[in-house]
Structure 1
Amino acid sequence: MIEPFLAPPRMGRPVRDHRQVVNGILWKLSTGAAWRDLPERYGPWKTVYERIRRWSADGTWDRLLAHVQQRCDAVGSVDWTVTCVDSTTVRAHQHAAGARKGGSGRARRSAGPAAG
C-alpha cells in the first residue's frame, strides 16, 4: 500500500528492500536506540538512516500520512470530531523553570553585618 510513495535510492547501488528499511526505521523509533545499534536484519544502519533522512527532506512522510488519512477516512475508520479542547494556562513558579535564585539574575550584594 505504501510502496508507491517510497522512491528508490538515487545511487547506482542495489536497492535495499523498502519493507526491511521501514521496519528498521520503526525499530529505531520505537526503541530510541542509537542508529549504530540497529540490528543487522534491517540492513546497514547508515542505509536506513540515509533513507529516513531523505524521505523526511523530500516530503515522503507527509505524502504518506495524507494518503493513509484519506484512505482510512474513506472507509470510516477515522473519527475527526474533537470533544474537548482545553486552553487552560498553568503558571509555574520561576524556580520550577530553572531560574536563578534571587530574581533577575543579578548577584546579590551583602548589606554587611547587621547593626545592633
Structure 2
Amino acid sequence: MAKQVYWLSDAEWRRIEPLLPRGRKGAHRVDDRRVISGIMHMLKSGSRWRDCPEVYGPYTTVYNRFNRWSRQGIWTDIFYALTGSTGMYGSMSVDSSYIKAHRSAAGAKGGPSTMRSAAHAAGRPPKSTR
C-alpha cells in the first residue's frame, strides 16, 4: 500500500512563495516546494521526522529546514498565508483525568502507628494543638 503524500497546490504555492527567504549565503537550497510539502505532510501526519517519505528528499533536510525557519519565525507567516491563522493561542487548557489508587499504593502498611512522637517519649507536651 503506497503512502499518501501531500503536495502544495499551485494556489498555495503562489501565496507562500513571496514569504520565503531569498539571497542567503551557503549551499544551494534544494527545491523549496518539495521540502515545504514534506514539512506540511509531516506536521499533518504527526509522524517522526525519520519516517518522512523519500519523495520529499532526505528527512534531515526536511527537519533542518523546519527547525531553522521555526527559529527565524518564517512559519508564522506561511501558516497565516495558508490558513488565515497563525496557530498560536494566547491561552490553552489541558484536560486531565485521574485513576483511583489502591490504599496501599503509597507503600504504607496501614493501620494505627505504634511509634510515639519524640516529644511524647521525652515527657514533654506536644508542640501541636488539638
Q: TM-score range by the shorter chain?
A: 0.5 to 0.7
- Percent identity, aligned pairs only, is 36
Superposed, 1:70-81 pairs within 5 Å as none
Q: Which residue of 1 aligns with 2:111?
A: 110
Q: Which residue of 2 aligns with 1:13?
A: 27
Whole-angstrom CA distance in 2 between matches of 1:41 and 1:8: 24
Q: What TM-score results when the alignment is normalised by the length of structure 2?
A: 0.51
1:35-86 alpha-carbon deviations (Å, 9 max, x no partner): 112122101111110111122111112123344539xxxxxxxxxxxxxxxx
Question: Do structure 1's residue 52 and structure 2's residue 66 form an aligned pair?
Answer: yes
Q: What TM-score results when the alignment is normalised by the length of structure 1?
A: 0.56
CA gap 1:47/1:97 in 2 versus in 1, 3 angstroms: same
In the alignment of these two chains, the number of paired residues is 88
Residue 25 of structure 1: which of 39, 57, 60 is its match? Answer: 39
Unaligned runs of 5+ in 2: 1-14, 86-94, 114-130
**Counterpart amino acid of residue 25 in structure 1:** I
**Secondary structure of the corresponding residue to residue 34 of structure 2:** helix
> RMSD of the alignment, in Å?
3.3
